[in-house]
């Protein structure tokens, strides 16, 4: 949902993971709402509604996710992780997405970022804010560690803050 500038989700069937095929090898689904009126229980505990809402909010609030012009893939040191960033032309909005490709196991690795290409000073800390989980991390340097448990959340969508104030930025720092 963050890799392409435009995407769509096919309603409750997707959110509720309704994917029983009509026949093996066909895209049509058994009991498809295309052929009948269905009542969906979108409040089910296994619904993806909450995460779809968060991803849609991230896409709406971040212009970098609305274009494919500055898309860059980054090495992770683990072939079960994929990392890529999207940045606006004026470098005011940068999104870094890291995804666990393994649906069964926790995966971790070091994401290697070309800081200067992302508008980040190499010797300065920068903050990444996870738009899905809400956590904020202070990162230093080009290599930073991530760990993703697919049973909790399989991806991070980080908004990158290029300039972060630290205690060294204040006059009273001793």
pLDDT in tens, 92-125: 899 999 999 999 999 999 999 999 888 888 888 8
Q: Identify the pLDDT of residue 45.
A: 81
Q: Identify the pLDDT of residue 68.
A: 84
Q: Identify the pLDDT of residue 173.
A: 47
Handedness of CA 21, 103, 49, 2 (dihedral sign): negative
**Beta strands 126-130 and 136-139: pairing type?**
antiparallel
Mean pLDDT by runs of 10 across the 174 residues of the chain is: 74 66 68 70 78 88 90 95 94 94 96 90 90 93 95 94 63 51
Phi, psi of 97 (to 5 degrees): -115, 130
Phi, psi of 52 (to 5 degrees): -60, -40
The Cα–Cα gap between 38 and 33 comes to: 6
Q: Identify the pLDDT of residue 85.
A: 95
Q: Identify the pLDDT of residue 171.
A: 53
116: its two tokens: 């200067």
Q: Identify the pLDDT of residue 168.
A: 55
Is residue 22 within 8 Å of residue 29, measured between CB atoms?
yes
Q: Identify the pLDDT of residue 112.
A: 96
Burial class (CB in 10 A: 0-12, 13-18, 19+), 6: exposed
């Amino acid at each position: 949902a963050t890799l392409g500038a435009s995407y769509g989700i096919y309603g409750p069937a997707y959110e509720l993971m309704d994917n029983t095929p009509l026949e093996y090898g066909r895209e049509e689904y058994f009991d498809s709402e295309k052929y009948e009126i269905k009542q969906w229980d979108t409040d089910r505990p296994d619904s993806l509604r909450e995460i779809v809402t968060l991803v849609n909010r991230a896409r709406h609030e971040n212009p970098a996710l609305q274009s494919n012009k500055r898309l860059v893939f980054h090495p992770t040191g683990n072939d079960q992780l994929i990392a890529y960033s999207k940045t606006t032309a004026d470098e005011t909005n940068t999104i870094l997405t890291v995804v666990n490709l393994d649906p069964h196991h926790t995966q971790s690795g070091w994401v290697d970022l070309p800081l200067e290409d992302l508008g980040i000073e190499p010797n300065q800390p920068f903050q990444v804010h996870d738009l899905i989980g809400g956590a904020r991390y202070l990162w230093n340097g080009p290599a930073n560690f991530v760990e993703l448990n697919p049973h909790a959340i399989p991806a991070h969508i980080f908004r990158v803050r290029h300039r972060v104030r630290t205690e060294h930025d204040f006059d009273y720092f001793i």
